[in-house]
A and B are shown apart, each in its own frame.
Chain A
């Protein structure tokens, strides 16, 4: 892995880490949701600082260039993140719908009997 690539990755990782810290500081992200990004940026720092790890892994898996292995690793991690975001949005949608439904069911408009224009002679004919 070329030195320029290592510097670039290191720079990107430090920048990412700084952005995450700033967001936490400004109360713009929950700590639990920032864990992924903190770990990811630390991982990139390790890859840039100790290129031998990436070179060894790349060789083991048959990559000609170690940087390709790094790319694949990042893409895989991002795909996992995107999918888990999608699943989380699904759950949020479902919860929002549930909440809206409960709000709706709290206030019943009109009356149940089918003679809806206030006809009190309507009888309960079911059962």
Chain B
């Protein structure tokens, strides 16, 4: 299976280099693409200086657009699967193989690396949001996704095409719910994640309300129209 790891990077000078080094040493059989999302720090010079494989968005366009840049690359180069891989060191490359195997064996269109398949959950506000989205997805699709907000998702060919050519497709739980409703197969595999190793999160506290309202509204309302 021809797999591309898409690494969106917005101001990730601290971690990018070590994240890529870990990825390439543990998964030498997959390709990767760093998508520099108009970073204001030294992300671009790190990519150029260390000869990392990447592309450079001329302006900051947001996580969704950065990821879709990678999906366009994957689509045009005929990859079988693409995985969203965080630049900040949260995701562990060892699970990529597990995910690829799960995709292959189950004929899945989306494989999610779940932190909660063992029954554990976040506590506090983070857990509340995650729970709420799980319930909404269950309500609208009948399928239980234990870790809908996991950022580590692998997408198969049909989803790559969807991301590369569709309108307003975000690498977020609403797209997972949409995919299930359209008859795509989504499976989860147990995985662990680390705390971010540096840099700044896309999901700042100020964006959480926006994120939750967008996700919930999209799952409940908009995807019935699409």
Query: Which residues of A does B touch, CB under 8 Å?
Result: 94, 96-97, 100-101, 103-105, 107-118, 122, 125-127
Contacts and interface: CB of A to CB of B under 8 A. Distances in A.
Given A104-B69, A105-B73, A116-B20, A125 B29 contact: yes
Contact of A100 (B47, B53, B57, B76): B57
7 contacts: A100-B58, A109-B55, A110-B48, A110-B51, A112-B31, A125-B29, A126-B3
Interface string B42-59: 000001101111111111
Interface footprint category on B: 35 or more
Interface of B: 1-3, 20, 23-24, 27-32, 35, 38, 47-48, 50-59, 61-62, 65, 68-69, 72-73, 76, 167-168
B127 to A, nearest CB: 32
A126 to B, nearest CB: 4
Given A101-B69, A109-B48, A126 B29 contact: yes
Nearest to B36: A104
B50 A116 contact: yes
A103 B57 contact: yes
Nearest to A103: B58
A38 B37 CA distance: 41
B81 to A, nearest CB: 10
A100 B59 CA distance: 7
A116 B29 CA distance: 13
Nearest to A90: B168
Contact of B51 (A97, A111, A125): A111
Contacts of B24: 114-116
Contacts of B55: 104-105, 107-109
A89 to B, nearest CB: 14
A109 B56 contact: yes
Given A114-B28, A115-B28, A101 B51 contact: no
A97 B30 CA distance: 27
A115 B52 CA distance: 9
A109 B168 contact: no
Contacts of A118: 51
Which among B47, B69, B73, B168 has the highest number of chain A CB atoms within 10 Å?
A: B69
Nearest to B65: A97
A78 B51 CA distance: 53
A97 B61 contact: yes
Contacts of A127: 2
Contacts of B65: 97, 100-101
Nearest to B60: A100
B163 to A, nearest CB: 11
A112 B55 CA distance: 11
Contacts of B72: 101, 105
B51 A117 contact: yes
A126 B80 CA distance: 10
B53 A104 contact: no
A125 to B, nearest CB: 4
Contacts of A125: 28-29
Nearest to B51: A110
A40 B78 CA distance: 52
A114 B54 contact: no
A120 B24 CA distance: 14
Contacts of A103: 57-58
A97 B69 CA distance: 9
